[in-house]
Structure 1
Amino acid sequence: MQHHLSIDIETYSDQDIGSVGVFKYVDTSAFEILLFAYSYDFGDVKVVDLAQGETIPEQVVKDLYNPDVIKHAYNAAFEITCLNRAGRYTPADQWRCTMIHGMYLGYPAGLARLGKVLGLPEDKQKMSVGKSLISYFCKPCKPTRTNGGRTRNKPYGDPDKWELFKVYNRMDVVTEMEDYKRLQSFPVPQEVQDDWVIDYYINARGIQVDRALVAGALKINEANREELLTRSKALTGLPNPGSRAQLLPWLKEHGADLPDLTKETVKEALKTATGDIREVLDIQSRLAKSSVSKYEALDRATCMDGRIRGTLQYYGAGRTGRWSGRLVQVQNLPHDVPMAIDTARTLVKRGSLEELRLLYGKVSDTLSQLIRSAFIAKPDSVFVVADFSAIEARVLAWLAGEEWRQKVFKDNGDIYCASASAMFKVPVVKHGINGHLRQKGKIAELALGYGGGTNALITMGALKMGLTEDELPGIVHKWREANPNIKAYWYKVEQAAMDAMAKAEAQDIGHGMCFAREANLQYGYDYLTVRLPSGRKLYYPQPMTGPNRFGGEEIRYKTWMGTRWIYNGTYSGKLVENITQAVARDCLATAIRRLAQQGYKPLMHIHDEVVLEVPKAKLHDDELDRVVALMCAPIDWAPGLLLNADGFVSPYYKKD
């Protein structure tokens, strides 16, 4: 007979979990579990005070690795990692994560937030006092004369507060169980659960960091910053020209009235700036290189064995279920690659600022371009990196039945050239006949697939590419004319969603997909759902219809914005974008699952790219071809979807 074991723990570490992640958080001799709260089969909750000598019952310890006992927790990855670190072995595949369950149904992350939006009774919600209690007992404290110079608060220091902390620990289990009770009518599909388990082990496996490169980059960056600030001080006379509050007034006084110092604003101002203003703005742009901060994150979050772990957040994008980045934000790494990358890496490892500047010019740019190569394979292994090509465009063409695009993909053609050719009714060849039109095809492809117009082209950088504003409406018209099935698909999807809202029946949109209205009448939960080809669903909580800003009707659903649970509107193109990106995500999940089943060790994945670590002793000459074949093999739930991938083999990660 299957049983359920709900768990919440409170822990201590001298590491800040928010900046280093859970794996570095437990990777210290200071780590310990303070409290262990548990409940069998959603019954009464018991709290084990480990900090004061109590022990976890032997049966509970056995059940932590008993496959007949399903373990539950909110953000279960934390409990799994902490318990394993403490010697209480428990496999991830026996756990169910209530946080992921909530995110799957379109709810926000955070136990307190989830309880709030689910409308839990006050006595079942997370206690608001928790943050101060965690700060007091779970983190180091500053030694003072008043506290006797201690660096940590123990239970005996404030028994009343400790008893309240035990109540808080107990209530977290109560809240998690109440959340689960309200979510279980809409279960997480088995494949989504399986992918979460794979994701846990990818995060736990981690990826090796080139510590010499990181140390050299930080040393060079510090010296370079000092030089840049010194030069900027000399030009402006300001005590701190890196300060927005000081620099903006100076720029205004000297004829450059900027609203802010964002990357785009400074980049735009540099186009016309001259003299000292230009140099000051150029220095500002180099000082503001956010990618350099990734070296600091790598240095901070790398575990003692030299690997960084926990860089991916499963189901981080609530509307589509795609992954998001954590710690170093691997989903947002620079694309540029320096020339002679091995030479650049050697100079940075040596901390050679002058040589780096002499050979590469702007130091900040070069450091930014090298951040990918800070991820390295173990000495006895290499990376095999494979990336789906144009997967969103392929999925959209397949969903909408745009046959000419499908033929381009089947023939491995250049979609930008083919799009321009279809738009302008002439042959277009890259670097060949009518090659100048390829750029227009490219910007149209990037901006217009989800119902965008001239503003979408501008946002995607059309004007910066040399196109004029007068050209843009024509490009929109020509692209839509060349893609009638995609255009029709936007409205087909929107109409199906509207019909699902109005009728008590599912609305088919092809490829096994449908919109439906689903509800839990007991708690008043209501969803507009989209069943995807994979069987996974997208959820839009508490949907309703209402007027949009153009005078028509739109679908609205509840979503978490900042600090509030509010209504957000959607439309035809956005619905198609959600579906397309969700299907592309499922293709990636299928590829990762296949690779794992074949014994490969995925370390991370970035958008549509998978990074594997393969021992040199097991590396075949055609290893990349094998990986690509696994990724691009036909998918049973997507007959006719044409996938393609390419990649490289390297001792370090890079942009191919």
Structure 2
Amino acid sequence: MNTLSIDVETFSDVDISKCGAYKYAESPSFEILLFSYAADAGEVQVVDLANGEQIPQEILDALLDDNVIKWAFNANFERVCLSRYLSDLGFLRAAFLSPESWRCTMVWAAYMGLPLSLAAVGSVLGLEEQKMTEGKALIRFFCSPCAATKANSGRTRNLPCHAPDKWALFKAYNKRDVEVEMAIQQRLAKFPVPDFLWDEYHLDQEINDHGIRIDMELVDNAIAVDARSREELTDRMKRLTGLDNPNSVQQMKGWLSQHGMETDSLDKKAVLELLKNAPPELSEALSLRQQLAKSSVRKYIAMKNVTSADHRARGTFRFYGANRTGRFSSKNIQLQNLPQNHLADIEYARALVRQSDFESLNILYDSVPDVLSQLIRTAFIPKEGRKFIVADFSAIEARVLSWLAKEQWRMDVFANDGDIYCATAGRMFHCNVVKHGENGHLRQKGKQAELACGYGGSVGALKAFGALESGMKEDELKPLVDAWRAANPHIVDFWWAVDRAAKDCIKERSKTVTHGIQFICQSGMIFIELPSGRRLAYAKPRIGENKFGGESITYMGLNTAKKWVRIESYGPKLVENITQAISRDILCYAMQTLKHMDIVAHVHDEIIIECEASASLSAVCEQMARTPPWAKGLLLRADGFECEFYQKD
């Protein structure tokens, strides 16, 4: 046996959507109901474990044999569930099956720019065998507890004997999933995932298996402090406004209107704008609303839901979560959007929350919700007797973009460990700019332009990055864009070289190359091959017409609402994809370089390592900053710090 394609159906009283696969499979109530498999792409067999059937010994042996490649769609779920099953049988001594021999068809679909659900992939590929639509209802019926009613004689779980017809359909559904998964493999066979990408996937799975430790004392008391804070803030709002429910947007907008303040929205940005000119009585109400709107407690609740009995949160990373660039995304706790911390006395504030000392927090700080928000990162802690090393790349996207475009003056800045924001402002305004020194006020404009303009952004992008809020005037935004572009002519040339290369590739159905990036049209796809050898895939590319009447590049992909639609793109947007994808490849190269250490998390361009007290910070930063062999001439730098709890330095 060389390969085994697998799908399982399971029961647990834990809500997997809130707690994740690891906590789900830990539940005492967990069991595998159905196990479908196909050996070497043969006939699919269904093992009805719920009715006493047993998995054949040769299949159990194959699950434990790293020479047999196991395939599944979202393979992490099958691997974690089967780890629990085999542990209960006494066949597995480790906590989890080694990921080395596992492959994930969902990752393959993502690599090809396809949707991330089995049904959607099957539909997009037009497979003869499609996922059965009855599945969701059957999963609700058999895989989760049910409400006790008179009609079901007060039972809290549906068993096969309670609905034999449904059970027979459920077995067919389980079988069909393996058939669809194998059909996807067959359809994508000419576009294999590179071996090095599977190596990255296996490391990702090891990081997910290892998990990161959570300070549950801080989490539990943060939730309690938040409840007390919300109660007091709501009472103050009620007294101030006289409203029954001051959290209601409609009631609050009505109250503000009665007091002479009209607004269409009460979101964060709108409240900040209203506070600029609000009279004292309205200002207090808006400030209270601002505090109540802090959603910090949701992160703490997510941590509580996900964390296992050993106080470690597992399964928080989704490999290839962004299928346009291949970047990681987060799930369950969402580490990619943690609030920053700026508290000077963060250790003291943290101690007060751990002690649930609401009175002191309320006296010492202007906003208890803000303190809780700033302490979210600190809930991640190393194992006792160990420390965290937190290291990240310095200006990684700016470095990659400069290297690709061969913008030499920027490369010189990085070579001399200069400040790219000061250097950019200096080029834009033709003067010397020093942080906190000569012409230091111009650095902010350089930073805004650098963040907004690198991928073709103009006035709208500057506004989105907060240019107006930082004090810039509307009439200086367009000149700022023009100045940035004039200062970076090679980057501007790079945008349009990529635009031409992509269009020529689509029109001529032939390979084109620019700046070391290859564009390949093949089998109804356009692939952008990166220096690492990894490819970005865009399905069904066409030349269309943009809103200005010119040519545009379009392709089929997932939009922000996760719908499969035709998407328009152009050179600068493709440059953004390319730059972010290469930055992701550099992060993965660094993670492979450092995999001998315990990487417990990574956030954007930052790696968090749990290590012995004797581990060297400088050695970690040196290893992280090593340039991959495929990126000669790219100048990297990594900086870091040590800490007893995670934080933003």
Q: Using structure 1 for the length normalisation, give the TM-score.
A: 0.96
1:327 match: 332
1:208 is aligned, of 207, 210, 213, to: 213
Aligned length: 640
Cα offsets for 1:323-362 (capped at 9, x unmatched): 1111111000111321211100110011111201222221
| Counterparts of 2:333 and 2:363, CA distance in 1 | 29
1:522 match: none
SS in 1 for 2:567: strand
Cα deviation, residue 559, structure 1:
1.2
Matched, 1:552 2:567: no
What is the correspondence of 1:203-602 to structure 2 with a 5 Å cutoff? 203-511=208-516, 513-519=517-523, 526-561=524-559, 562=561, 564-596=563-595, 599-602=596-599
Cα deviation, residue 648, structure 1:
0.8
Cα deviation, residue 254, structure 1:
2.6
Contact persistence 2:597–2:611 (CA under 8 A):
yes
Matched, 1:631 2:629: no
| Counterparts of 1:85 and 1:645, CA distance in 2 | 39
Matched, 1:15 2:22: no
SS in 2 for 1:316: strand
Cα offsets for 1:498-520 (capped at 9, x unmatched): 11111232111123x2111111x
| Counterparts of 1:136 and 1:461, CA distance in 2 | 49
| Counterparts of 2:303 and 2:259, CA distance in 1 | 39
Contact persistence 2:405–2:491 (CA under 8 A):
yes
Paired amino acid for 2:114? Y
Matched, 1:119 2:118: no
Paired amino acid for 1:626? A
Contact persistence 2:341–2:647 (CA under 8 A):
no
Identity of matched residues, %: 49
1:648 is aligned, of 633, 636, 641, to: 641
Distance 1:563 1:318, change over 3 A: closer
Cα deviation, residue 234, structure 1:
1.5
SS in 2 for 1:64: helix
Paired amino acid for 2:552? E
Paired amino acid for 1:606? V
| Counterparts of 2:154 and 2:309, CA distance in 1 | 29
Matched, 1:610 2:607: yes
| Counterparts of 1:632 and 1:107, CA distance in 2 | 32
| Counterparts of 1:93 and 1:246, CA distance in 2 | 56
| Counterparts of 1:177 and 1:304, CA distance in 2 | 36
2:23 match: 24
| Counterparts of 2:60 and 2:554, CA distance in 1 | 47
Cα deviation, residue 436, structure 1:
1.2
Contact persistence 1:337–1:370 (CA under 8 A):
no
Contact persistence 2:62–2:68 (CA under 8 A):
yes
Cα deviation, residue 563, structure 1:
6.1
| Counterparts of 1:86 and 1:252, CA distance in 2 | 60
| Counterparts of 1:365 and 1:43, CA distance in 2 | 58
Cα deviation, residue 128, structure 1:
1.0
1:523 match: none
2:79 match: 80
Contact persistence 1:545–1:554 (CA under 8 A):
yes
| Counterparts of 1:76 and 1:257, CA distance in 2 | 52
- Worse-matched range after superposition: 640-649 or 353-362: 353-362
Q: Which runs of 4+ in 1 moved over 6 A?
A: none
2:52 match: 53
| Counterparts of 1:332 and 1:579, CA distance in 2 | 22
Matched, 1:108 2:115: yes
Paired amino acid for 2:132? M
1:181 match: 186
Considering only aligned residues, what root-mean-square deviation do their CA atoms show, in Å? 1.2
Contact persistence 1:515–1:530 (CA under 8 A):
yes
Paired amino acid for 2:120? R
SS in 2 for 1:39: strand
Contact persistence 1:337–1:654 (CA under 8 A):
no
Flag structure 1 segments of 5+ consecutive residues without an equivalent: 520-525
Cα offsets for 1:250-285 (capped at 9, x unmatched): 323332322222221222222222233222221221
| Counterparts of 1:68 and 1:439, CA distance in 2 | 56
| Counterparts of 1:260 and 1:475, CA distance in 2 | 30
| Counterparts of 1:191 and 1:129, CA distance in 2 | 37
| Counterparts of 2:392 and 2:268, CA distance in 1 | 28
| Counterparts of 1:251 and 1:106, CA distance in 2 | 47
Contact persistence 1:104–1:318 (CA under 8 A):
yes
| Counterparts of 1:223 and 1:77, CA distance in 2 | 39
| Counterparts of 2:266 and 2:111, CA distance in 1 | 37
| Counterparts of 2:120 and 2:445, CA distance in 1 | 45
Cα deviation, residue 93, structure 1:
1.3
SS in 2 for 1:51: helix
Cα offsets for 1:556-598 (capped at 9, x unmatched): 01112336421010011101000000000000000001101xx
Contact persistence 2:509–2:522 (CA under 8 A):
no
| Counterparts of 2:407 and 2:213, CA distance in 1 | 43
SS in 2 for 1:162: helix
Distance 1:8 1:514, change over 3 A: same
Paired amino acid for 2:631? A
| Counterparts of 1:502 and 1:107, CA distance in 2 | 22
| Counterparts of 1:241 and 1:258, CA distance in 2 | 16
Cα deviation, residue 125, structure 1:
0.8
2:161 match: 156
| Counterparts of 1:494 and 1:65, CA distance in 2 | 49
SS in 1 for 2:594: helix
| Counterparts of 1:563 and 1:570, CA distance in 2 | 17
- Worse-matched range after superposition: 375-384 or 500-509: 500-509
| Counterparts of 2:354 and 2:612, CA distance in 1 | 25
| Counterparts of 2:126 and 2:564, CA distance in 1 | 11
| Counterparts of 1:489 and 1:563, CA distance in 2 | 30
Contact persistence 1:13–1:25 (CA under 8 A):
yes
Paired amino acid for 1:614? C
Contact persistence 2:4–2:37 (CA under 8 A):
yes
Cα deviation, residue 161, structure 1:
1.2
- Worse-matched range after superposition: 146-155 or 431-440: 146-155
| Counterparts of 2:428 and 2:197, CA distance in 1 | 40
2:98 match: 91
SS in 1 for 2:144: coil
1:44 match: 43
Contact persistence 1:291–1:333 (CA under 8 A):
no
| Counterparts of 1:651 and 1:34, CA distance in 2 | 43
Cα offsets for 1:178-200 (capped at 9, x unmatched): 11111121111111111111001
Contact persistence 1:457–1:472 (CA under 8 A):
yes
| Counterparts of 1:262 and 1:113, CA distance in 2 | 34
Cα deviation, residue 152, structure 1:
1.2
